[in-house]
Amino acid sequence: MTEKHGVLQMQPSGRWAICLLGHKPIEITSGETFRVEVNGEPELKPTRMEFWHHSGPVKGREHRGQSGEYYSVDDYPLRNGLRAAIGE
């Protein structure tokens, strides 16, 4: 598969997506692998997206209507604007 490089962006759905110029955002689903920029290094690091379900009350708020959040299983920090890619 050809890699599709873009930037990471949080979507209104609460999912992360890779946004490429001139294309619709490609949402990263739970269990899907992708590559992401870590600490400004030139090489993107592979990781997998998962969804963490909050246990117990959500302290008076809900995160985008969900009781949890998406995260990198390798504990890489995810934020808008990071270089990212889908594919192998």
Q: pLDDT tens for residues 19-48?
A: 999 999 999 999 999 999 999 999 999 999
Q: Is the model's pLDDT at 84 over the cut of 80?
A: yes
List, for residues 54-68, the tens digit of each pLDDT value: 665 555 545 455 567
Query: Strand 45-53's sheet: what is its strand order?
Result: 26-27, 16-19, 4-10, 83-86, 33-36, 45-53, 68-72
User: Does pLDDT of 79 surpass 90?
Assistant: yes
CB crowding 52-84: b at 16 or more within 10 Å, else e:
eeeeeeeeeeeeeeeebbbbbeeeeebeeebbb
- pTM given for the model: 0.79
- The CATH classification number of 4-86 equals 2.40.10
Domain map (residue ranges) of the chain: 4-86
- The per-residue pLDDT for 68 is 79
